[in-house]
Every structure is written in structure tokens, then in C-alpha cells.
């Protein structure tokens, strides 16, 4: 069954032009097969996408390098307007993109719609930033000369993205790269390539010149990516994915000293103090845990709840989690879709079994669902011991693990007891405490009395082994630029 025939059956999917299946290189669509894309709610094959060889990877470098001088010389205003048109097209086709994301990723339509809006915003934000690239002019402290700092596009950039936000993780890289004047090669995750190809179609329609954006999929990311990084014309690797793969790619990029931005895994703590507004904390907990059914790098992985509010929080969260409707993402009634793969379900099962074996109590859920599809039910565990494997590893699923604490210092120590440092959440009515705790948390982002922090206008990224660099905000564009300093004598 082809993607087109599946999607044509779907009442919400109106635009056959988005049914792109093929590598997109140098403005050409190159058909092929070899990588099946499946619907995680049924296991049915939706489509096949091509499996790039090393040669195809190098052809993409060639195309991006050939387009680079022209794109770099294109006035910022013109680059900006192309990005802005791409934003408009994504917004106009938001429902089609949401259905596509929901089909290949499994996430609930409401989450997919939220992702499309978030993803498109990166194009709007960087359409604005393209015309405001900063520079510097100072007098040297010695007084002998002037210091002039210019920012130039870094060059051909390789963008590698994960499956959990197939649209947003791509636009968060393409937006700043194109705004900066770089040409790109995007390698989306094998599980969710259809969204990336559909967005490339929209990019074409928006007027992105051939070769400025190239998209390929491969079953052998190791050798293909290694060959691309070894080409001296490639000057940037921007990766979003797991910490283990990020480490491997840092080592690969080191061979040719390629600049790296790394958005890696997380293990977010969610701290609830006695004085927190319980209802607001529960609302925030549901967003921080259940957006994307828990398959988010910012997902609350460990709930630390103070003694006085603990029991009410456990009862409230259990009630809300147990009431969620589990089902196929494209069913409009679904609130929790399937996990991406059977392997992901098995990992969640193993983490829950380990925690329960060490004394955690199951308040709701707690066992994988039988039947077709990769379903795991919303689950709440309390009394989770600090030595449970889920205290150290990303659960990446709809499991809320609750730990109890008494003192602020203890909560901070537990929250920081991880190699990760991406996101953290704090709920308290005391502003002084919120800021004090926020400053003590070893993470790149802190949400204070909020369950959601992602915003294209803010710097997104992690400390420790959660990554290097920031995406979004006013600094995100500099990840795709090289500073050039001129020592100037008048
Ligand atoms: P992953 O396994 O690391 O894969 C991410 C991407 O890397 C995919 O495109 C994958 O391609 C590719 N890849 C895998 N092995 C590779 C290799 N040896 N060489 C080159 N590329 C390789 O991660 P995932 O399972 O897709 O995503 C989940 C992870 O991403 C979680 O850890 C999550 O926390 C993290 N994440 C972080 C952020 C953030 O902003 N910090 C955002 C979202 C997700 P294939 O699909 O073809 O294997």
C-alpha cells in the first residue's frame, strides 16, 4: 500500500502534493525504496522511502556546496521572505502535516497540531532574525586599533533529527541555518521521514532554491554520516537525538574538526514544594509528562514531591492519568497515542518491572497493553526508590515516577544526581525559593510554575551530557555562523 493511498483514505488529509517519497537532492526528487515506514498504532506499512548509499550522501554534499555561494550572497531580506513564505505554507497546510505526523509517529492529533504550530514558528522567528544578524565594533583596550567582528555563514551543514518531533526538530535547525546563509543536508529519523519530505515540498513551493535544502534517508546512518562529515566542504553538524549517538558523532566530527551543536537526552526533575498550588502543579505535571505521550526530551522523568503535598499530588495525578484515552493518534478522541516501536514499549516495561521490584507501588497502569500497536498505558508509580533504573534513564513513555522528599537541599541534590541537564520544573508559591532552587539546578532550562518551556524565541538546550549549544532565541542563528575578527587601523 502506498502512502498516497493510505492518506487518501484519511478524511483530514487533503493535499496530495505533500505525498513526497524520494530523496530530495539539488532540487530533484529521486525515487527509491528500502526503508518501510510503519504506523505505530497498527504496525501497517504506510510507505517506503529510499535507502541512501554513501554515494547519495556525497551527492547531497555536492548539491549543497554548489548552492552555497548563491545562497550566501542572497540578501538577508530575500532569505527572510522565503522563510516567511515557508511559515505561511506550513500554517495553511497545518492539518495535513498534523495528520502525517500523527500517522507516522503515532502522537495524538492534538499533540501533532501543537507540533506543527511550534515547528512553523521557527521559520517565522528566523525569518525575523535573518535581518538582524549582530556584529561588533570596539576600540582595543590598548587603544592601538579597532576591533570589528563580523559573522559569516559557517558553510554546508548536516542536520540530523530524531523521530519524536519530526517537524519541529527539523525547522529548529533549517530555520537558523537558512537565515544565516548556510545550505543544508537533512537526515531525518528512519521512523518518521515522511514529514521531512512533505516539508521539503513546501520549501520548494516557498521558493527555496535547488540545493539549499537537501533531504535523504538511510538505513546505514553511520557510514553515510561519516562520509559526509569527512568531506571538507561540510563545516557544521547539528544533531538532535540520544546522548550515546551524540557521543559517537562528536568523535566522528572531531576527525575533521567540524563544529557541533548537540541537543541530546534528558532526565528532567519536576519539583513540587508544599506551598505549591496543587491544581496548577497537576496541570503542569500532565503537560510536562504527557505531551507526546512522554516521548519528549523535556518530559518530566522524576517527580520529587515534598511530604506535606505528596499524598494529594499522587492521588490527583493518578486520577488524571487513569482518565486518559489511549488509542491511535489519528483518532480525534485519543489523548495518549502508541509508542514509536515495540522496542520502546519493551524498554518501558523493563524500567517499570525494575522499579516495582525495588519497592515502587503501581497506582495506575503498569503493564503493556495486548493486541496490535505499540501501546503502553498512562502509569503512575509512587514510592520509587532512588536506585531504580528509571531514576537514571529516560523513560520516554507515559510513566510518572514519584519520589518523596522532605528538605529543599535534599530535593536539589536528588534533582542534580544525573549525568543529564536539559530541563527542570519547579512548583512553589515562594518566588525567592523558585529562583534560589532554579539557580541550583544543573540544567539548561528551568520552568517555574509551568509545565511547558519550549519556545522558538528562547534558547533551548542542555548542560552536562544533554548537549552543546542552543537552538532558538537570538543566539540560535550564531550556531550556524563563524565569527570573523578584523583588526582595523584607520
Ligand atoms: P537516536 O537513536 O540518537 O537517533 C537520532 C538520529 O540519529 C536519527 O536520525 C538516527 O537515524 C540518527 N543516528 C542513529 N545512529 C546514528 C549513527 N551511528 N550515525 C549517525 N546518525 C545516527 O535518537 P532517537 O531515538 O531518534 O530520539 C530520541 C532521543 O532524542 C532521546 O534521547 C531524546 O531525549 C533526544 N531528543 C533530544 C532533544 C533535545 O532537544 N535535546 C529533542 C528531541 C529528542 P535512524 O533513525 O536512521 O537510526
pLDDT tens profile 389-421: 999 999 999 999 999 999 999 999 999 999 999
pLDDT > 50? residue 2: no
pLDDT > 90? residue 288: yes
Q: Is 359 helix (H, G, I), strand (E, B) or coil?
A: coil
Residue 178: what pLDDT?
98
The per-residue DSSP string of 392-425 comes to: TS---SSEEEEEEE-SHHHHHHHHH-SS--SEEE
pLDDT > 90? residue 18: no
Ligand 1 in reach of 324 Cβ (< 6 A): no
pLDDT tens profile 440-484: 999 999 999 999 999 999 999 999 999 999 999 999 999 999 999
User: Are the CB atoms for 473 and 444 separated by under 8 Å?
Assistant: no
Instruction: Select which of 263, 295, 471, 479 is catalytic.
Output: 263
Residue 470: what pLDDT?
98
For residues 439 and 85, give the distance between their C-alpha atoms in angstroms, rounded to a whole number.
40
Pairing of strands 156-160, 234-240: parallel
Task: For residue 413, give the C-alpha cell.
Answer: 541534590
Residue 104: what pLDDT?
97
User: 490 falls in which pLDDT band (50, 70, 90)?
Assistant: confident
Pairing of strands 300-306, 268-272: parallel
Residue 1: what pLDDT?
39
Domain membership flag for residue 461: no
Q: Which residues contact 79 (CB under 8 A, 6 or more apart)?
A: 71, 130, 178, 179, 181
Q: Which residues contact 143 (CB under 8 A, 6 or more apart)?
A: none
Number of domains in the chain: 2
Ligand 1 in reach of 163 Cβ (< 6 A): yes
201 plus 183 within the same structural domain: yes
300 plus 348 within the same structural domain: yes
122 plus 223 within the same structural domain: yes
Q: For 314-335, what is the mean pLDDT?
A: 97
334 plus 385 within the same structural domain: yes
pLDDT tens profile 112-142: 999 999 999 999 999 999 999 999 999 999 9
Ligand 1 in reach of 470 Cβ (< 6 A): no
Q: Quick count: other Cβ atoms within 10 Å of Cβ 81?
A: 16
130 plus 219 within the same structural domain: yes
Domain membership flag for residue 462: no
Q: Quick count: other Cβ atoms within 10 Å of Cβ 54?
A: 15
pTM: 0.97
Residue 102: what pLDDT?
97
For residues 317 and 419, give the distance between their C-alpha atoms in angstroms, rounded to a whole number.
27
Q: Of 172, 241, 262, 459, which is best to mutate to test ligand 1, by the most ligand atoms within 8 angstroms of its C-beta?
A: 241
Ligand 1 in reach of 337 Cβ (< 6 A): no
58 plus 168 within the same structural domain: yes
253 plus 285 within the same structural domain: no
52 plus 191 within the same structural domain: yes
pLDDT > 80? residue 209: yes
Structural domain containing residue 437 = 268-455
Buried residues in 462-476 as b, exposed as e (16+ CB within 10 A): bebbbbbbbbbbeeb
Domain membership flag for residue 343: yes
pLDDT > 90? residue 252: yes
282 plus 409 within the same structural domain: yes
157 plus 22 within the same structural domain: yes
The per-residue DSSP string of 34-57 comes to: EEEEE-TTT--EEEEEE---HHHH
Domain membership flag for residue 460: no
**Known active-site residue 115:** no
Residue 14: what pLDDT?
61
Domain membership flag for residue 113: yes
Which domain CATH number covers 21?
3.40.605.10
274 plus 383 within the same structural domain: yes
Residue 4: what pLDDT?
55
Which domain CATH number covers 298?
3.40.309.10
Q: How many whole angstroms from 266 Cα to the centroid of ligand 1?
A: 12
pLDDT > 80? residue 69: yes
Q: What is the mean pLDDT of the chain?
A: 96
211 plus 334 within the same structural domain: no
Task: For residue 347, give the C-alpha cell.
Answer: 524498554
Amino acid at each position: 500500500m502506498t502512502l498516497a493511498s493510505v492518506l487518501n483514505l484519511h478524511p483530514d488529509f487533503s493535499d496530495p502534493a505533500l505525498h513526497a517519497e524520494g530523496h530530495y537532492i539539488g532540487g530533484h526528487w529521486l525515487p527509491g525504496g528500502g526503508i518501510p515506514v510503519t504506523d505505530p498504532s497498527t504496525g501497517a506499512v504506510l510507505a517506503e522511502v529510499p535507502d541512501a548509499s554513501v554515494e547519495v550522501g556525497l551527492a547531497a554534499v555536492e548539491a549543497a556546496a554548489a548552492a552555497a555561494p548563491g545562497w550566501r550572497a542572497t540578501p538577508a531580506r530575500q532569505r527572510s521572505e522565503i522563510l516567511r513564505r515557508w511559515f505561511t505554507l506550513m500554517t495553511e497546510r497545518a492539518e495535513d502535516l498534523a495528520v502525517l505526523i500523527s500517522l507516522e509517529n503515532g502522537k495524538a492529533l492534538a499533540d501533532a497540531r501543537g507540533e506543527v504550530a511550534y515547528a512553523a514558528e521557527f521559520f517565522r522567528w528566523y525569518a525575523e532574525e535573518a535581518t538582524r544578524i549582530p556584529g561588533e565594533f570596539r576600540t582595543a583596550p590598548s587603544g592601538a586599533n579597532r576591533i570589528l567582528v563580523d559573522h559569516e555563514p559557517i558553510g554546508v551543514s548536516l542536520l540530523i533529527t530524531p523521530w519524536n518531533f519530526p517537524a519541529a526538530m527539523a525547522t529548529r535547525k533549517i530555520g537558523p541555518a537558512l537565515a544565516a546563509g548556510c545550505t543544508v543536508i537533512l537526515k531525518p529519523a528512519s521512523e518518521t521521514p515522511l514529514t521531512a519530505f512533505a516539508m521539503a515540498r513546501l520549501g520548494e513551493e516557498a521558493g527555496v532554491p535547488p540545493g539549499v535544502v537537501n533531504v535523504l534517508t538511510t538505513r546505514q546512518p553511520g557510514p553515510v554520516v561519516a562520509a559526509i562529515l569527512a568531506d571538507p566542504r561540510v563545516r557544521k553538524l547539528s544533531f538532535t537525538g540520544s546522548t550515546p549517538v551524540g557521543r559517537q558523532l562528536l568523535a566522528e566530527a572531531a576527525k575533521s574538526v567540524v563544529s557541533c551543536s548537540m541537543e541530546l537526552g534528558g532526565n528532567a526533575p519536576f519539583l513540587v514544594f508544599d506551598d505549591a498550588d496543587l491544581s496548577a502543579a497537576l496541570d503542569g505535571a500532565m503537560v510536562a509528562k504527557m505531551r507526546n505521550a512522554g516521548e519528549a526530551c523535556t518530559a518530566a522523568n522524576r517527580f520529587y514531591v515534598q511530604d506535606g503535598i505528596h499524598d494529594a499530588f499522587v492521588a490527583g495525578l493518578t486520577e488524571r492519568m487513569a482518565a486518559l484515552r489511549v488509542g491511535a493518534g489519528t483518532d480525534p478522541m485519543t489523548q495518549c497515542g502508541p509508542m514509536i516501536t515495540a522496542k520502546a514499549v519493551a524498554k518501558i516495561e523493563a524500567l517499570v518491572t525494575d522499579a516495582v521490584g525495588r519497592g515502587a507501588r503501581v497506582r495506575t497502569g503498569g503493564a503493556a497493553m495486548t493486541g496490535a500497536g505499540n501501546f503502553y498505558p498512562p502509569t503512575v508509580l509512587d514510592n520509587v526508590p532512588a536506585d531504580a533504573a528509571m531514576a537514571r534513564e529516560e523513560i520516554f513513555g507515559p510513566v510518572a515516577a514519584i519520589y518523596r522528599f522532605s528538605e529543599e537541599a535534599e530535593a536539589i541534590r536528588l534533582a542534580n544526581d544525573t549525568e543529564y541537564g536539559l530541563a527542570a520544573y519547579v512548583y512553589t508559591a515562594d518566588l525567592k525559593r523558585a529562583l534560589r532552587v532554579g539557580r541550583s539546578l544543573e540544567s539548561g532550562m528551568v520552568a517555574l510554575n509551568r509545565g511547558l518551556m519550549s519556545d522558538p524565541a528562547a534558547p533551548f538546550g542542555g548542560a552536562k551530557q544533554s548537549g552543546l549549544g542552543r537552538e532558538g532565541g537570538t543566539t540560535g542563528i550564531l550556531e550556524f555562523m563563524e565569527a570573523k575578527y578584523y583588526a582595523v587601523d584607520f
